Structure 1
């Protein structure tokens, strides 16, 4: 039995979402602006109502404790036809416990299992070593790094891309939660 689950974001998630998105260590490599207000969290949750994974555009889903319902973090999936881009954010208290790997397996089961997409990729700041390690553990490969390719938080930043094909995912022994 899994200790965590994916579900739609709900109004009750707003305070926790706001809290971890305001943490400078969580926000360092993310695209949202600080401060991240409760109104920002409520607006994001409202925008996500009725969205499901696989739709074109970004869909943000909650990653929650299976027993308590506590918000552990969130995953973002941007549908792009037969491909998807992936993002992950974990609350500080959820980090370092293997939860991100469990959550990523659940997301990949939907992307490759029920949606049967061809490819998923993530674009990260290469200094985010925790994200790179997570992706590699999940079977992604480092596809390349573009140098100083985007402006982020006052500096030109490199962009590392990690990808995983459906055919590669099918043979991973770790794909089951």
Structure 2
């Protein structure tokens, strides 16, 4: 998949070093399930697992986000396709230097477009730590509806955290005026 500035593609072995680098940033890891630093061995295993997945089969698939101009890996978009092939969960991670520049919006939009237009999904949901205001704002900007707050839902990194739940339905996404090119 390609957008104006990005290529969203399958992970490959060479991605282990940049994956370890951005996942080792404490600011990037703050609201994620992994701890920083993220060792290279763990990144190599992750990249192998990501590369083995399929975006069309139930389970997790991780898209690598690459800058078109420099071919640099700057983040990833994760999709967990449900067994019914009609619902999915989405998550996203972007290296700190590329946050706040519209790259996450561009990447997630392209993935949502694929999910709704090409794969025919009915619903996509997202969940984030309630303190992660940039992620919540991104989902709202893309048309997700905040559907709930799960108080002290997750025990992670030594603390209980509240989780925000978001969802978007196919008719809501397909009614949008702007279509991200594939």
TM-score, scaled relative to structure 1: 0.95
Within 5 Å, give how 1:94-105 maps onto structure 2: 94-105=98-109
Matched residue count = 177
CA contact (8 A) 2:144 2:167 kept: yes
Moved over 3 A (4+): none
Match of 1:23 in 2: 25
Match of 1:113 in 2: 117
- Alpha-carbon offset, residue 150 of structure 1: 1.3
* Counterpart-to-counterpart distance in 2, 1:26 and 1:141: 24
The 1:143–1:115 alpha-carbon spacing in structure 2 relative to 1, beyond 3 Å, is same
Match of 1:89 in 2: 93
- Alpha-carbon offset, residue 72 of structure 1: 1.3
* Counterpart-to-counterpart distance in 1, 2:56 and 2:127: 18
- Alpha-carbon offset, residue 61 of structure 1: 1.3
Can you give the 5+ residue segments of structure 2 that lack an aligned partner in the other structure?
A: none
Match of 1:38 in 2: 40
Can you give the 5+ residue segments of structure 1 that lack an aligned partner in the other structure?
A: none
SS at match of 2:15: helix
SS at match of 1:49: helix
SS at match of 1:168: helix
TM-score, scaled relative to structure 2: 0.93
